[in-house]
Amino acid sequence: MAQSPFLRIGTRGSALALAQAHLVRRLLARAHGVGEDEIAVEIIKTSGDAILDRPLSEAGGKGLFTKEIEEQLLDGRIDLAVHSSKDMPTVLPDGLGLVCFLEREDVRDGFIGRASPTLADLPKGAVVGSSSLRRQAQIRRERPDLDVVTFRGNVQTRMAKLNAGEVAGTMLAMAGLNRLGISGEVTEVIAAERFLPAVGQGAIGVETRLADTRTRDLLAPLDHRATAIALAAERAFLAVLDGSCRTPIAGLARIDGSSIAFTGEILRPDGSESHVASRAGTVADAEALGRDAGAELKARGGPGFFGHA
């Protein structure tokens, strides 16, 4: 490595985070004709990585995976941070922003079943592990008889628990499994209409200092417009519903040329009740569509739904 690298990327240290950071490094090196060894990848341990024994919603929420990385961005130790957009809070520290989204991977969830290949065919009362409140609620909606348990840890840890027989099945994002080269483990790909994905699922987002025009310009060739527009709608939706991180929330925008179709959903954690709002329009209205759908669901769910009552 040259004494002063061309760019410094910050990332968490999980296999998935590293795969994502290495992808961004490869694309940047190719776009700018520099060697990959001129782009440093710094692994940064976050508080979220240390909490493995309880749901993150209890430990303080999404910001736990970004705090230490953002501190390094703000004081200039790194130039950019590579994230799963799904894990990003809607409000970022002053001076930082998600300025680039890579073309989205598969947005769907995949079921990995041991007791049966499909969720519908699991034996009554089978134990299913999931880390996400959204998936837990969506699983319970379809199969209220199952024993859905909270399943923390990174993708590898969860696969190990599955292989050890702790659970009969689990649900993971196809995007992450694809990036890790292990989507062959999936026994059922779940349509996005059946399990509406998390906001941002499948999209890698790059965060920088907003004033750092050099890094922003270097990232520009990597930015995928349709993904960025979809994320603007989805994150605007989430922002309206935020402050309620214990509520299962799903949202997905699809772009087709200059058209956008957004669907958002809120669920009760036990899956007994859910509300869906959809909006369609043109890409110029992406954020407004997301906000509008969020406002509708906020009104329909009422305070009881969001755990503030």
Binding site for ligand PBG (CB under 6 A): 84, 86-87, 155, 172-173, 175-176, 201-202
Work out how close the CB of 110 gets to ligand PBG at its nearest, in angstroms, rounded to a whole number: 8
Angle at 246 between CA 302 and CA 19, to 5 degrees: 135
H or E segment to which residue 25 belongs: helix 15-32
Nearest to 262 by CA among 300, 294, 224: 294
H or E segment to which residue 207 belongs: strand 204-209
Pair of tokens at residue 223: 């930015």
Residue 118 amino acid letter: T
Work out how close the CB of 87 gets to ligand PBG at its nearest, in angstroms, rounded to a whole number: 5
Query: What dihedral angle (degrees, nearest 10) is formed by the CA atoms of 47, 53, 55, 59?
Result: -40
Work out how close the CB of 38 gets to ligand PBG at its nearest, in angstroms, rounded to a whole number: 27
| Cα torsion angle, 292, 296, 302, 307, sign | negative
Mapped onto helix, strand or coil, the DSSP state of residue 244 is: coil
Distance CA 142, CA 109 (A): 15
Distance CA 198, CA 87 (A): 9
Pair of tokens at residue 284: 């110029």
Work out how close the CB of 150 gets to ligand PBG at its nearest, in angstroms, rounded to a whole number: 13
Work out how close the CB of 17 gets to ligand PBG at its nearest, in angstroms, rounded to a whole number: 9
Q: 113 vs 176, which CB is nearer to ligand PBG?
A: 176
User: Residue ranges of the alpha helices (H) in 164-249?
Assistant: 174-180, 213-219, 225-241
Q: 202 vs 248, which CB is nearer to ligand PBG?
A: 202
Which residue is catalytic, options 79, 87, 106, 242? 87
Confirm whether 87 is a catalytic residue.
Answer: yes
Q: 99 vs 186, which CB is nearer to ligand PBG?
A: 186
Q: 87 vs 296, which CB is nearer to ligand PBG?
A: 87
Which residue's Cβ has the minimum distance to ligand PBG? 176
Distance CA 289, CA 210 (A): 25
Work out how close the CB of 172 gets to ligand PBG at its nearest, in angstroms, rounded to a whole number: 4
Q: Which residues contact 61 (CB under 8 A, 6 or more apart)?
A: 89, 245
Distance CA 179, CA 280 (A): 31
Q: 176 vs 301, which CB is nearer to ligand PBG?
A: 176
Q: 19 vs 276, which CB is nearer to ligand PBG?
A: 19
What are the catalytic residues? 87
